[in-house]
């Protein structure tokens, strides 16, 4: 069936694949979150040992799980939605709501967040900002860069969602749905 897809839907599928794989990779970090947090607790309360670097690694992973997987969450339609009327709409009307929401809210939000955080992230990279804590990780600049990862993943998935919505509005919607 993929050989009958329009070029636009092929682009949407490719973007979905990138966003999906990256989101799944970020989701696997939750295993590290659980194990790392448990180890920090055991070390601190069982042995009286502080593990600042491990705590910070857990914090970095936490940020990546939530911000890195945001595009995947959007792709799977698992984001927070105040759904009073939407689920009663036809697929064409849902596509119109999705398209308008993407163009009027998601894209401007992403562009504003990218613009507002660019200097913040750039300054951290310029100085190779590290932890203020003794024994902390020297990679704060990488953690701050996760903000731009959020912007990129949401923009990529937003483009895919907009393409699928336009295809649905044009009557090619049966092939546009790729959630999951």
* pLDDT tens column, 137-164: 999 999 999 999 999 999 999 999 999 9
In the predicted model, what is the mean pLDDT of residues 166-172?
89
**pLDDT tens-digit series, residues 43-81:** 999 999 989 999 999 999 999 999 999 999 999 988 777
The model's pTM is 0.86
Helix (H, G, I), strand (E, B) or coil at 166: helix
Cα separation, 143 vs 128, in Å, equals 11
Q: Answer yes or no: is pLDDT of 3 > 60.
A: no
Q: What does the block give as tokens for 139? A: 């990679």
What distance separates the 2 farthest-apart alpha carbons in the chain?
Answer: 64
Q: Is 54 left (phi over 0), alpha (psi -120 to 50) or beta?
A: alpha
pLDDT category of residue 177 using cuts at 50, 70 and 90: low
From residue 51, how far is each of 38, 44, 62, 129, 152 by CA, in Å? 12, 8, 17, 20, 32
Measured in residues, the chain has a length of 180
pLDDT category of residue 173 using cuts at 50, 70 and 90: low
**pLDDT tens-digit series, residues 90-108:** 999 999 999 999 999 999 9
Q: Answer yes or no: is pLDDT of 179 > 90.
A: no
Cα separation, 124 vs 143, in Å, equals 9
């Amino acid at each position: 069936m993929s050989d009958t897809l329009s070029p636009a839907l092929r682009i949407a599928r490719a973007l979905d694949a990138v966003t999906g794989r990256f989101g799944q990779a970020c989701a696997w970090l939750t295993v590290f979150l659980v194990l790392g947090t448990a180890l920090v607790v055991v070390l601190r309360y069982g042995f009286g040992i502080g593990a600042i670097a491990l705590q910070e690694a857990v914090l970095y992973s936490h940020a990546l799980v939530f911000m890195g997987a945001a595009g995947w969450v959007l792709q799977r339609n698992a984001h927070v939605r105040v759904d009073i009327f939407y689920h009663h709409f036809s697929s064409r009307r849902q596509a119109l709501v999705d398209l308008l929401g993407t163009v009027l809210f998601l894209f401007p939000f992403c562009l504003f967040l990218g613009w507002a955080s660019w200097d913040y992230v750039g300054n951290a990279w310029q100085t190779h900002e590290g932890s203020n804590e003794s024994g902390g990780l020297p990679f704060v600049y990488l953690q701050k860069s996760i903000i731009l990862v959020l912007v990129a993943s949401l923009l990529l998935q937003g483009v895919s969602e907009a393409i699928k919505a336009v295809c649905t509005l044009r009557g090619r919607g049966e092939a546009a749905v790729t959630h999951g």
